[in-house]
Every structure is written in C-alpha cells, then in structure tokens.
Amino acid sequence: MTRYAVIGASSGTGRQIVRYLADKHVQVRAISRRPLAAQEGVEPYAADVTDPASIAKALEGDFDAVFYTVDIHGLRNSRETVRSVMYDGCINTIHAAAAAGAKRFVLLSVIGPDRPSWVWWILNAIKPGMQRNVLDRERALIHSGLSYVICRAPRLNDSPGGVIPIAATASEHRLDMGMGIARADLARAMARAAAAAPERTIWDIYADSGGPIPAWLRTDKR
Ligand SMILES: NC(=O)c1ccc[n+]([C@@H]2O[C@H](COP(=O)([O-])OP(=O)(O)OC[C@H]3O[C@@H](n4cnc5c(N)ncnc54)[C@H](OP(=O)(O)O)[C@@H]3O)[C@@H](O)[C@H]2O)c1
C-alpha cells in the first residue's frame, strides 16, 4: 500500500496535498508542529523540522514519498531564523528521509531562484536570505543521493483550483508576478510528480491554459 508523509501539513499547499491524498484513499502521515485533526487515512503527527531528532522520528516508517512544504511566517524574522527553518529544517528532513529509506523526496520550491528578478529583491527584503536558502536546499537535495522531484511554483493563491489547466516545463522561467497557481492545483501536480515524474528532475509548475502538460502530469495514477 502506498504511504506518504507530508511535512508542513497543517496549512497551505501541504494541507491541500493531505486533502487530495485522503480523497484518493492514500495513507498519509501529516506532519507539522500543530497537527491536523485525525481523519480516515490521515495520521496527524507533531514534529519540528528545526529539531533533527523530532523530524527523524516523524519519518520512521516505510514512506514512498516525503513532501516538504514548510514555510516560515512573520515579517520581522532575522536572517538566522529564516535560515534555520527554510534551509536547516529542510536539510534535517533530507537526512531523516535518507536514513529512514524514503523512496522519493518531493520539494516545493520557487520558480527561478537562479535567475535575476525584481521579485526576488522584494522576497529577500521580507525574508532575509530567502533566495540563497531556496537555492542551497535544492542543491543539497540534488547531492543527497535521494530520488527527488523539485516542484518550483510561482505566486500561490487559495482559489478552489480546477479552472485553469496546470502546465509544467523544465526549469526555465524567471520569477514574475504574472504567473500563479492555486495551492489546490499545485497539490494535485505534486501528488502526480511523486507517483509518476521522472526521478532527479526539476519542474516549473504554473497555471496556463496553453502551456505544456508533460505525460507525468496527465496521469490519473494519483
Ligand atoms: N506563498 C507563495 O506565493 C509561494 C510561492 C512559491 C513557493 N512557495 C513555497 O511554498 C511552500 C508552502 O507555502 P504555503 O504558503 O503553501 O504554506 P503555509 O501555509 O505557509 O504552511 C507552512 C507549513 O509549514 C509548517 N511549519 C512551519 N514551521 C515548521 C517547523 N519548524 N516544523 C514543522 N512544520 C513547520 C506550518 O505548520 P505549523 O505552524 O503547524 O508547524 C505549515 O503547515 C513554502 O516553502 C514556500 O516557499 C510559496
């Protein structure tokens, strides 16, 4: 039986992934500091990614994929605090997933961290060091030895989704405010990436009625 772990499960995209998987009757461990309420097929689990022992325990088990969707909130976080959650938390999770034998790591990232964009200037002002953290954790995953898929997203929104088709390309876009995607749609794409995207690949995933839809995204496997 397929079994997944979602980290950052209590809100945003992580919560949408849990909802999507539960609807598909996939077993999921839903991990966050404030766990969700239990429901059929969903095992709420309290853990903090900044505590290596805590996230190592949370990932014990035979997971077919681990989704990493953690984000840090608040406007006045120091560079060190941002790094401890965005980068160190992700590294702790990568190590824990590798030690536990997770079969795939699906990282929610941001479009264009390696390309100049005025949007990065704003994001780095809000979350000091954000672009560097996004790049560093992608590189750490690439060199971890784990099977991975990196899903780079543009601006997220909480519309119900299912209206504009989801497109995905190899990573080639600059970050700009013209692109976007509903968290519900991104969750569906990430579930499909876990099940069917080629391993060791990086994708830009966004809403676009005329955009390319790779074979793995067409699958209804998940
Ligand atoms: N916002 C955008 O427009 C945008 C665009 C592109 C990419 N992204 C990326 O998408 C990801 C998810 O964003 P989102 O807005 O959908 O999510 P979100 O609503 O901000 O949720 C973040 C999740 O992380 C958990 N979390 C925070 N600190 C944690 C910790 N120390 N240990 C364990 N869990 C922790 C939170 O739960 P608890 O507080 O209960 O722990 C929550 O479940 C982020 O990585 C972000 O960089 C965002």
Q: Which of 11, 20, 71 maximizes ligand 1 atoms within 8 Å of its Cβ, making it the mutation to test the pocket?
A: 71
Q: Which DSSP state fits 111?
A: S
- Element spanning 108, H or E: strand 105-110
How high is the pLDDT of residue 47?
Answer: 98
**Number of domains making up the chain:** 1
pLDDT single digits (tens) 81-94: 999 999 999 999 99
Contacts of 153 (CB under 8 A, 6+ apart): 13, 108, 109, 110, 111, 181, 186, 205, 206
112 SS3 class: coil
Ligand 1: residue of 15, 29, 32 to mutate (most ligand atoms within 8 A of CB) is 32
Domain, as residue range, for 179: 3-218
Residue 75: its pLDDT value, please?
84
Determine the pLDDT at residue 86.
97
Rounded to whole angstroms, the Cα distance separating 60 from 147 reads: 17
pLDDT digit string, tens, across residues 147-195: 999 999 999 999 999 999 999 999 999 999 999 999 999 999 999 999 9
CA of 143 to the centre of ligand 1 (A): 23
Tell me the pLDDT tens digit for each residue of 40-67: 999 999 999 999 999 999 999 989 999 9
CATH, residue 93: 3.40.50.720
